[in-house]
Chain A
Amino acid sequence: MSTFVLLLVTGLGLGALYFLIAAGLSLIWGLMRVLNFAHGAFVTVAAYVAWSVGHALPGDSLWLHWLVSLVAGVVAGGVFAALTEIVLIRPLYARPIGQVLVTVGLALATVAVVQGAYGTDPLTVPLPDALTKTTSILGALIPNSRLLVIGAAAAVLVALLFFLRRTRYGLIVRAGVDNREMVTALGIDVQTAFTLVFVIGGMAAGLAGVLASTYDGSLDPGRGTSMLIFAFIVVVIGGLGSVTGSAVSAVLVGEVQQFLNFYGASGTGDFAVVLLLAGVLLVRPGGLGGAAP
């Protein structure tokens, strides 16, 4: 029983990380029709900025270091995303192939720059004691970092849904997912919504970067890219442009991966996720959440 609970919560934690990356990807695709292969770079940059800020801070309080690092990582993710949208994506809106090439190039270049600056070996992340301990749930000892990631993802889901359903910009984003040109034809500057969505996506990815480091207790230059592959699968299963679909899909993917990797041969879970993708697309080509956020 305790193993089952542990796998369940760990799968949920993994799904939470996927959701944080997938939510931004999904909104960016839904509104802007941009396949952002550089999204993993937002995760990586945020994680390394957070690590650097944590190391540069004076004092011994690990909590303070961790919290400041978290904020720095989220801000770095947002700023990097904004710059990417303004400098690289905006001139290429009419050229989708150009967008793919430039985001793939940025992803590769970012990993290379990070490797050049920090090396290829994983770096250890100093964590407050509370985040390295465990909590007993139904007999299973669950690492607190998993609970933190799940709580953070739930908070981001609630915040995103509030933004989408209760604010004017959220309304613009939902309408833009439906029909971008008509939003413009109502006198609304969709460009601002584009940048905003990129920043929100970048901040969520930044949060994922810092929380993934907390989850693993370390960080390496390839972490963002490896999570991005599964985040793309989450987005497609969840339905492009659907935040709630991404949340459900992320949990599904995380749990399938976790359970099958534990009970099956190594890599079974990863393979099963691809089968899950194919199955969902056969039954519901628009994904679980369709086009509605």
Chain B
Amino acid sequence: MTERPIETADPATAERPVLLEVRDLSVSLGDSAIVHGVSLDVRAGGITALLGRNGAGKTTLLRGMLGLVARTGSVRLAGEELTTLRAHDVIRRGIGYVPENRDVFGSLTVAENLRLAERRGTALRYDAVYELFPELRERSAQRAGTLSGGQQQMVALARALLNAENRLMLVDEPTKGLSPLMVKRVTDALAAASRETTILLVEQNLSVANRLAEDAIVIDQGRVTFTGNVKDLTGDRELARRYLGIASH
């Protein structure tokens, strides 16, 4: 049985144009269908939270949007169809990706990790990145594999923020496993980044989503079950319990 997504009208967000348009996206890993015909819109500007229980298909959905796994359906960025492109070309259309497990290149230095993220012909925001994360400048010659989890997350975020042309960031559980202090650093960085770039944020921590995002999309078992304002979701215990299996606070 497929639940109909709940739409909540919000005049403020409804006025913003759609930047990312996903239609009927399905992803299978091996013989298992993980994402089932997902359709969603991400509006330009600000942060949209992509929420859902563990194993709901959030990470696979992001990877499907980028073409890192085989998928069917349509993904449009500012009107341009992306599913006909190879994954690296999708990224080059102006997307920064922060994967769930950070995936820094452990054998490379911090500086080399950032240098890999440089794209030719685009302005680079090293100053802005180092302003957000001064540690990265200090540790530029250190192998990324020897950094703490929080510092590795800084490298992962910095790679996505580096190219000034990036219009969209897909950020997958950036606060997972981090200390409260580091969670604040990361959320502050995302808030700052969202002033220049649209962010689709996968987050398990509802209080983080509540603080950063305006729009929320909930998926469960590979299907969209809620789209609307994040405050509507987190402010309503019954909705939060129903769609996320938890009570918000």
B116 adjacent to A175 (CB under 8 Å): yes
Whether A184 is near chain B, meaning CB under 8 Å from some CB there, is: yes
- Give the CA-CA distance A168 to B115 in the complex, in Å: 9
Whether A265 is near chain B, meaning CB under 8 Å from some CB there, is: no
CB distance from B109 to the nearest CB of A (A): 10
Whether A174 is near chain B, meaning CB under 8 Å from some CB there, is: yes
* Contact mask for chain B residues 68-110; partner A; CB cutoff 8 A; 1 contact, 0 none: 1000000000000000001111011000010100010111100
CB distance from B201 to the nearest CB of A (A): 17
Given contacts A178-B106, A291-B107, contact A188 B99 (CB under 8 A): no
Residues of A within 8 A of B202 (CB): none
Q: A186 touches which one: B89, B107, B116 (CB < 8 A)?
A: B116
B88 adjacent to A184 (CB under 8 Å): yes
Whether A190 is near chain B, meaning CB under 8 Å from some CB there, is: yes
* Contact mask for chain B residues 49-80; partner A; CB cutoff 8 A; 1 contact, 0 none: 00000000000000000101000000000000
Residues of B within 8 A of A171 (CB): 108, 112, 115-116
Residues of A within 8 A of B240 (CB): none
Whether B237 is near chain A, meaning CB under 8 Å from some CB there, is: no
A185 adjacent to B66 (CB under 8 Å): yes
Whether A109 is near chain B, meaning CB under 8 Å from some CB there, is: no
Whether A172 is near chain B, meaning CB under 8 Å from some CB there, is: yes
CB distance from B61 to the nearest CB of A (A): 15
Given contacts A175-B105, A178-B107, A291-B107, contact A184 B112 (CB under 8 A): no
Residues of B within 8 A of A189 (CB): 86, 88
A187 adjacent to B91 (CB under 8 Å): yes
* Contact mask for chain B residues 181-224; partner A; CB cutoff 8 A; 1 contact, 0 none: 00000000000000000000000000000000000000000000
Residues of B within 8 A of A183 (CB): 116
Given contacts A175-B105, A179-B103, contact A187 B115 (CB under 8 A): no
- Give the CA-CA distance A92 to B99 in the complex, in Å: 26
What is the interface size of chain B, counting residues whose CB is below 8 A from a CB of the partner? 21
6 shortest A-B CB distances, which residue pairs?
A: A187-B91, A182-B103, A292-B107, A187-B92, A178-B105, A175-B105
CB distance from A2 to the nearest CB of B (A): 43
CB distance from A291 to the nearest CB of B (A): 7
A185 adjacent to B107 (CB under 8 Å): no
Given contacts A187-B91, A187-B92, contact A174 B99 (CB under 8 A): no
Whether A216 is near chain B, meaning CB under 8 Å from some CB there, is: no
CB distance from B91 to the nearest CB of A (A): 4
CB distance from A182 to the nearest CB of B (A): 4
A187 adjacent to B88 (CB under 8 Å): yes
Whether B124 is near chain A, meaning CB under 8 Å from some CB there, is: no
8 residue pairs of the A-B complex, CB under 8 angstroms, read: A171-B115, A175-B105, A178-B107, A183-B116, A186-B88, A186-B97, A186-B117, A187-B92
* Contact mask for chain B residues 162-198; partner A; CB cutoff 8 A; 1 contact, 0 none: 0000000000000000000000000000000000000
A186 adjacent to B159 (CB under 8 Å): yes
B binding-site residues for A, Cβ under 8 Å: 66, 68, 86-89, 91-92, 97, 99, 103, 105-108, 112, 115-117, 119, 159
Residues of A within 8 A of B87 (CB): 184-185
B108 adjacent to A188 (CB under 8 Å): no
* Contact mask for chain A residues 181-218; partner B; CB cutoff 8 A; 1 contact, 0 none: 11111111111000000000000000000000000000
Residues of A within 8 A of B107 (CB): 174, 177-178, 291-292
B99 adjacent to A178 (CB under 8 Å): no
CB distance from A231 to the nearest CB of B (A): 23
Residues of B within 8 A of A174 (CB): 105, 107-108, 112
B106 adjacent to A187 (CB under 8 Å): no
Residues of A within 8 A of B86 (CB): 189, 191
B68 adjacent to A175 (CB under 8 Å): no
- Give the CA-CA distance A190 to B68 in the complex, in Å: 12
B88 adjacent to A179 (CB under 8 Å): no
A178 adjacent to B108 (CB under 8 Å): yes
Residues of B within 8 A of A177 (CB): 107
Residues of B within 8 A of A185 (CB): 66, 68, 87, 91, 97, 99, 103
For residue A165, which residue of chain B has the nearest CB?
B112
For residue B122, which residue of chain A has the nearest CB?
A187
For residue B92, which residue of chain A has the nearest CB?
A187
- Give the CA-CA distance A178 to B113 in the complex, in Å: 11
For residue B144, which residue of chain A has the nearest CB?
A178
- Give the CA-CA distance A185 to B91 in the complex, in Å: 7
Q: A188 touches which one: B66, B97, B116 (CB < 8 A)?
A: B116
- Give the CA-CA distance A189 to B116 in the complex, in Å: 12
CB distance from B247 to the nearest CB of A (A): 35
B92 adjacent to A182 (CB under 8 Å): no
CB distance from A193 to the nearest CB of B (A): 11
Residues of B within 8 A of A191 (CB): 86
Residues of B within 8 A of A291 (CB): 107
- Give the CA-CA distance A185 to B156 in the complex, in Å: 11
CB distance from B202 to the nearest CB of A (A): 15
A187 adjacent to B119 (CB under 8 Å): yes
